[in-house]
């Protein structure tokens, strides 16, 4: 479908002008031993765009990509956008069936893959996705796959492109440019349709709140198929910073990249931060503390101990947190947790560090900072309770879920507002306090309990590095609150209530101690977990670090049933 958009409308490929002029001779991408300057990167994008046009990719066509992070992945994202196509990044960790279902929804004309998808080859048949016309290998395809498909490569498309005529970028209908699948912890992921405007507004928000600039050397710790990694990549393309790309996050390769390339910034989720800190502790020398100056955390709050460790091993880094979701094109709010220039924690985390609340009227939940301009937020309150559903509106929002028919004009007070599905409040200073997911609430004894609120209290304890709260069926209460906890190194678990081991004075935790701690933190009685379970492994999570509560709940139920049967 042709577009009515023009050069007066935003387009993510406008970043190419800056890269090819102001950053023409500066290195802007590093993938392994391959480096490209701004001019080289922009030229590669234009060359690939010409190849796509000559092949027959048209405005509005969907191109699916499933691959590890690389400079070529970013080139594909921009080249697809340049010709007016819509990129649909698929998660390379998906099974073939999950990827097939996603492609049946978005109906791509082309599929681009690399070695991360070799496990698909034995299952993939030509008639599985009727819309597919071309299959492209990001690099050199395997011989097995060549037998099944007439596979093109990125280099083949670039070599066959003709550069005799100037090339102008195009827009898909409504300015759509990316279909980013949600990383939901329950149900099938949905394809979130994002516009050029939403991505650019998100980039400007990150530039303003985090402080990214062209001098940044940014390490890609998040996959480009997820909104956190995708929006941060777009931000760095806009400012002209340098991208350091590793195929996927592994603590060892990430730390090596930080030291080798003098990385200045990266993003984390709690699992990534914990992995980095654990490995740094094992190193004799650590050079990353000299260069890293910006760390943005999302996907869940950091525990107090992780915050302390982060400021210890990255002493020059401004540590920030963000709250958002795929449907809002990533971050809605930002908050500075620690600022090394001030050598102070945020007011909220100072309060947490003091292990007490400054006021009984302090909002419940976790503070996630203030909305980033031009984001609008409001609380839809039902009754006298100050907390309610968090709603948002503005150009940062998705166009719709792919395949969803645009809704007719609504006749309600919430017209044009998007319901995030989260429950929270906004205090007198404009800070947003997040209580939890509306769908994730636990019903216990007729009361509503939000797991995130209880988790926020337990994460303040110095002996806890991770916790997940779930509700399990209970004949008397309907649901019983159960806490799964991970202990900090050198702490021990006891079934009693002693504070220290009698032999070597090591710190000890138990269910009784944690229940008392919750009472001291003024957590309402019915919210205090009835059962505490020591969790010795890692919590099951999505690739963006979101906890799979349903899986934890199933394991807890199985554990409790086995204990009951053994009695």
Between these two residues, 119 and 558, which has the higher pLDDT value? 558
C-beta of residue 221 within 8 angstroms of C-beta of residue 227: no
Torsion of CA 440, 444, 449, 453, to 10 degrees: -100
284 phi and psi, to 5 degrees? -75, -40
**If pLDDT is split at 50, 70 and 90, which confidence band does 490 have?**
confident
The winner for highest mean pLDDT among 8-17, 33-42, 163-172, 547-556 is 33-42
Nearest CA among 169, 176, 172 for reference residue 199: 176
Please compute the mean of the pLDDT values over residues 36-64 and round it to a whole number. 96
Check residue 516 and give its pLDDT: 95
> What gap in Å lies between CA 141 and CA 147, rounded to an integer?
10
Cβ partners under 8 Å of residue 350, min gap 6: 344
Q: Poorest-confidence range of 295-304, 426-435, 491-500, 539-548? A: 491-500
> What gap in Å lies between CA 174 and CA 62, rounded to an integer?
14
> What gap in Å lies between CA 247 and CA 348, rounded to an integer?
36
C-beta of residue 60 within 8 angstroms of C-beta of residue 173: yes
Look up residue 400 and give its two tokens.
Answer: 């719709």
> What gap in Å lies between CA 211 and CA 206, rounded to an integer?
7
**Scanning the structure block, which residue is given the tokens 């998906």?**
94
Mean of all residue pLDDT scores within the chain: 87
Check residue 354 and give its pLDDT: 38
Please compute the mean of the pLDDT values over residues 304-331 and round it to a whole number. 94
Q: Poorest-confidence range of 111-125, 140-154, 430-444, 535-549? A: 140-154
Check residue 1 and give its pLDDT: 40
DSSP, collapsed to helix, strand or coil, labels residue 237 as helix
Domain locations in the chain as residue ranges: 12-196, 442-566
Look up residue 292 and give its two tokens.
Answer: 């890293």
What single-letter DSSP state applies at residue 541? B
Look up residue 273 and give its two tokens.
Answer: 């931060």
**If pLDDT is split at 50, 70 and 90, which confidence band does 411 have?**
very low
Between these two residues, 379 and 143, which has the higher pLDDT value? 379
Beta bridge partners of 432: 369, 426
Check residue 142 and give its pLDDT: 60
Nearest CA among 19, 28, 21, 37 for reference residue 261: 28
DSSP, collapsed to helix, strand or coil, labels residue 382 as coil
Between these two residues, 5 and 481, which has the higher pLDDT value? 481
Q: Poorest-confidence range of 137-146, 148-157, 471-480, 519-528? A: 137-146
Torsion of CA 396, 249, 244, 315, to 10 degrees: 90
C-beta of residue 454 within 8 angstroms of C-beta of residue 415: no
Between these two residues, 250 and 144, which has the higher pLDDT value? 250
Q: Poorest-confidence range of 180-194, 204-218, 321-335? A: 180-194
% pLDDT > 90, the chain: 62
Please compute the mean of the pLDDT values over residues 382-409 and round it to a whole number. 81
Cβ partners under 8 Å of residue 9, min gap 6: 171, 175, 196, 197
Check residue 284 and give its pLDDT: 87
DSSP, collapsed to helix, strand or coil, labels residue 71 as helix
Other Cβ atoms within 10 Å of 278 Cβ, number: 13
Between these two residues, 549 and 150, which has the higher pLDDT value? 549
Check residue 353 and give its pLDDT: 40
Nearest CA among 422, 499, 423, 501 for reference residue 461: 499
Look up residue 417 and give its two tokens.
Answer: 């507002």
Quick check: 350 pLDDT over 50?
Answer: no
Please compute the mean of the pLDDT values over residues 58-83 and round it to a whole number. 97
Beta bridge partners of 379: 390
Q: How does DSSP assign 460-522, residue by residue?
A: TSTTEEEEEEEEEEETTTEEEEEEEEEEPTT-EE-SS--SB-TTT--BEE-HHHHHHHHHHTT
Quick check: 410 pLDDT over 70?
Answer: no
**If pLDDT is split at 50, 70 and 90, which confidence band does 414 have?**
very low
% pLDDT > 70, the chain: 86
Cβ partners under 8 Å of residue 212, min gap 6: 206, 218, 235, 236, 239, 241, 265, 294
CA 114 to the chain's CA centroid: 22
3-state helix, strand, coil in the chain (%, to 5): 30, 25, 40
The secondary element (H helix, E strand) that includes residue 231 is helix 227-239
What single-letter DSSP state applies at residue 301? P
Q: Is 475 exposed, middle or buried (0-12, 13-18, 19+ CB in 10 A)?
A: exposed
H helices, E strands: number in the chain:
15, 29
Between these two residues, 60 and 2, which has the higher pLDDT value? 60
**What are 4-27's pLDDT values in tens digits?**
566 678 999 999 999 999 999 999
Check residue 237 and give its pLDDT: 98
Check residue 302 and give its pLDDT: 84
C-beta of residue 189 within 8 angstroms of C-beta of residue 183: yes
Between these two residues, 452 and 257, which has the higher pLDDT value? 257
> What gap in Å lies between CA 168 and CA 44, rounded to an integer?
15
**If pLDDT is split at 50, 70 and 90, which confidence band does 355 have?**
very low
Please compute the mean of the pLDDT values over residues 201-225 and round it to a whole number. 96
Q: Poorest-confidence range of 43-52, 204-213, 357-366? A: 357-366
> What gap in Å lies between CA 263 and CA 247, rounded to an integer?
16
**What are 124-175's pLDDT values in tens digits?**
776 789 999 999 999 876 655 555 567 899 999 998 777 667 789 999 999 9
DSSP, collapsed to helix, strand or coil, labels residue 292 as coil
Quick check: 503 pLDDT over 60?
Answer: no
CATH of the structural domain 12-196, one choice from 3.10.450.200, 1.25.40.80, 3.90.226.10, 3.40.50.12780: 3.40.50.12780
Check residue 174 and give its pLDDT: 93
Quick check: 532 pLDDT over 90?
Answer: yes
Check residue 343 and give its pLDDT: 67
Cα distances from 345 to residues 353, 357, 437, in angstroms, run 9, 15, 27
Q: Which CATH fold would you assign to the domain 442-566?
A: GMP Synthetase; Chain A, domain 3 (3.30.300)
Beta bridge partners of 482: 470, 531
Quick check: 245 pLDDT over 70?
Answer: yes
> What gap in Å lies between CA 90 and CA 179, rounded to an integer?
9
What single-letter DSSP state applies at residue 565? H
Check residue 6 and give its pLDDT: 63
**If pLDDT is split at 50, 70 and 90, which confidence band does 542 have?**
confident
């Amino acid at each position: 479908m042709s577009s009515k958009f023009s050069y007066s409308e935003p387009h993510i490929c406008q970043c190419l002008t800056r890269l090819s002029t102001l950053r023409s001779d500066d290195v802007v991408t590093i993938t392994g031993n391959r480096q490209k300057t701004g001019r080289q990167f922009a030229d590669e994008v234009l060359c690939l765009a010409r190849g796509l046009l000559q092949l027959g990719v048209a405005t509005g066509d969907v191109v699916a990509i499933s691959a590890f992070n690389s400079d070529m992945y970013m080139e594909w994202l921009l080249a697809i956008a340049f010709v007016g196509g819509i990129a649909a990044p698929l998660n390379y960790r998906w099974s073939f069936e999950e990827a097939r279902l996603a492609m049946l929804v978005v109906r791509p004309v082309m599929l681009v893959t690399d070695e991360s998808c070799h496990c698909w080859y034995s299952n993939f048949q030509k008639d599985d996705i009727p819309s597919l016309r071309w299959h492209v290998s990001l690099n050199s395809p395997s011989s097995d796959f060549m037998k099944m498909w007439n596979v093109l490569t990125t280099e083949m498309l670039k070599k066959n492109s003709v550069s005799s005529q100037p090339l102008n970028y195009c827009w898909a209908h409504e300015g759509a440019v990316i279909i980013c699948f949600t990383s939901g912890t329950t149900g099938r992921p949905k394809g979130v349709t994002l516009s050029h405007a939403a991505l650019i507004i998100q980039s400007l928000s990150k530039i303003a709140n985090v402080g990214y600039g062209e001098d940044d050397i940014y390490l890609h710790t998040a996959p480009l198929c997820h909104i956190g990694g995708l929006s941060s990549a777009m931000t760095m393309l806009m400012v002209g910073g340098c991208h350091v790309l590793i195929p996927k996050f592994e603590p060892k390769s990430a730390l090596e990249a930080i030291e080798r390339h003098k990385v200045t910034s990266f993003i984390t989720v709690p699992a990534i931060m914990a992995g980095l800190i654990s490995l740094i502790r094992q190193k004799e020398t650590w050079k990353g503390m000299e260069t890293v100056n910006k760390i943005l955390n999302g996907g869940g709050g950091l525990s107090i101990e992780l915050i302390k460790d982060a400021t210890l091993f990255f002493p020059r880094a401004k540590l920030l947190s963000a709250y958002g979701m795929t449907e809002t094109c990533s971050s809605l709010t930002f908050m500075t947790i620690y600022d090394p220039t001030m050598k102070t924690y945020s007011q909220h985390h100072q309060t947490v560090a003091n292990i007490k609340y400054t006021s009984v009227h302090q909002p419940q939940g976790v503070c996630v900072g203030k909305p980033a301009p031009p984001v609008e937020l409001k609380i839809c309150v039902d009754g006298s309770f100050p907390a309610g559903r968090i709603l948002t509106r503005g150009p940062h929002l998705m166009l719709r879920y792919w395949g969803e028919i645009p809704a007719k004009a609504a006749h309600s007070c919430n017209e044009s507002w998007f319901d995030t599905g989260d429950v929270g409040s906004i205090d007198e200073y404009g800070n947003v306090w997040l209580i939890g997911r509306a769908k994730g609430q636990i019903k216990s004894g007729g009361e509503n309990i939000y797991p995130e609120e209880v988790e926020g209290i337990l994460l303040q304890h110095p002996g806890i590095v991770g916790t997940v709260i779930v509700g399990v069926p209970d004949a008397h209460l309907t649901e019983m609150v159960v806490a799964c906890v991970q202990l900090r190194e050198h702490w021990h678990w006891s079934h009693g209530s002693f504070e220290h081991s009698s032999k070597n004075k090591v710190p000890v935790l138990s269910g009784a101690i944690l229940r008392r701690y919750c009472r001291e933190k003024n957590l309402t009685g019915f919210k205090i977990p009835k059962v505490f379970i020591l969790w010795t492994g890692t919590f099951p999570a999505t690739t963006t670090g979101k906890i799979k509560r349903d899986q934890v709940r199933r394991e807890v139920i199985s554990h409790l049933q086995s204990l009951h049967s053994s009695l």
